[in-house]
Structure 1
Amino acid sequence: MMDFVLAFIGSFAGAILFNIERKNLIWAGICGGISWVVFKLFYIQTDRVVFSTFLAAFVCGVYSETMARKCKTPAFVFSIPGIYPLVPGITAYTTVRAIVEGRLIFAVNKGIETIGTAGAIAFGIMLASTVFQFVSKVNEGYKNKPKATS
């Protein structure tokens, strides 16, 4: 529960910095909280940072697309603050620190993890958006399909 609250506060504060409308601030904070909880649950189960980040970003993207349609606002209003808890800032810091300290093997490992995590965030959000667009096109096709007369 504490993880959700802290991720909510971080995403909520980030949403304020981006000047998001007041009516959407809570929803943006909830997106960050949900994405962090999903990350933690899958990380505990799998011990795989990149995979857990991908799943959390995908859930963030699905939530963002859903709320975008409900609130009639762009999805990035929710997805950008929603991924704040997932951004690998400490991993990037650790990479640079290891380089400065001369621990190059460790730095390479952490650097690859950082790049993988960032790519997983991008791919998760992109995949969710693509799935929503595909489903929308399919539904639109069924709605516009002429009815057969007998």
Structure 2
Amino acid sequence: MIKQILLAFLGSIFPVILFNIDRKKIIWAGFCGAIGWAAYLAVYKYTYSPVSSSFVGAFFVGIYSELMARILKTPAVQFSIPGIFPLVPGITAYTTINSIVEQKYSLASSEGMQTIAVGGAIAFGIMLSTTAFRFISKLAKQKLK
């Protein structure tokens, strides 16, 4: 489990370098991916569902990204995009395409649906966390006035 989280950390660092994000934020973006993957593993251990696990992982990535954006005064996208890289269902997308090529259409259908569901869960997790964070921040600012 620690090995997987370390690899998720590294898997989030390399997109930062690729997208030429400020070098001072490399470590923080790595933590984003590690936190998202740790949340994924924790939920997957109990549910065995890649869709719900990806949703929770993406939700944690979104919350962490919004927090770090406020702390480091930078756009949250600089953390959320590298942070979701470990969650992206690459092997299921590959299996889908490979099954189509090999004319195994029932396997391609099931793997394709899982790929789409995980992708949607990631998008929904990021969207929900960002919306919730901004809503709570707005309420807190109104309460201070």
TM-score higher than 0.5: yes
Name the aligned partner's letter for residue 87 of structure 1.
V
Q: Give CA-to-partner distance per residue, 1:68-117, whole Å, 9 cap, x none.
A: 11111111110000000001111100001111111111111100000000
Output aligned runs, 1:1-150, within 5 Å.
Answer: 1-144=2-145
Q: Give CA-to-partner distance per residue, 1:37-80, whole Å, 9 cap, x none.
A: 21122112111010000000000000101111111111111000
> Secondary structure, in 3 states, of the residue corresponding to 2:21?
coil
Q: Give CA-to-partner distance per residue, 1:15-54, whole Å, 9 cap, x none.
A: 1111111111100011111111211221121110100000
Name the aligned partner's letter for residue 78 of structure 1.
F
Coordinate RMSD, CA, aligned: 0.8
Alpha-carbon separation, structure 1, partners of 2:44 and 2:95: 19
Mind listing any 5+ residue stretches in structure 2 that lack a counterpart?
A: none
Alpha-carbon separation, structure 2, partners of 1:75 and 1:122: 15
- After TM superposition, the structure 1 stretch with the greater mean CA deviation from structure 2, 37-46 or 7-16, is 37-46
Alpha-carbon separation, structure 1, partners of 2:114 and 2:24: 36
Bigger radius of gyration, 1 or 2?
1
Compute the displacement of 1:141 (Å): 1.3
- What is the TM-score when the length of structure 1 is the normalising length? 0.93
Provide the identity percentage. Answer: 53
Q: Which runs of 4+ in 1 moved over 3 A?
A: none
Alpha-carbon separation, structure 2, partners of 1:141 and 1:42: 35
Name the aligned partner's letter for residue 58 of structure 2.
A
Name the aligned partner's letter for residue 57 of structure 2.
A
Mind listing any 5+ residue stretches in structure 1 that lack a counterpart?
A: 145-150
> Secondary structure, in 3 states, of the residue corresponding to 1:83?
helix
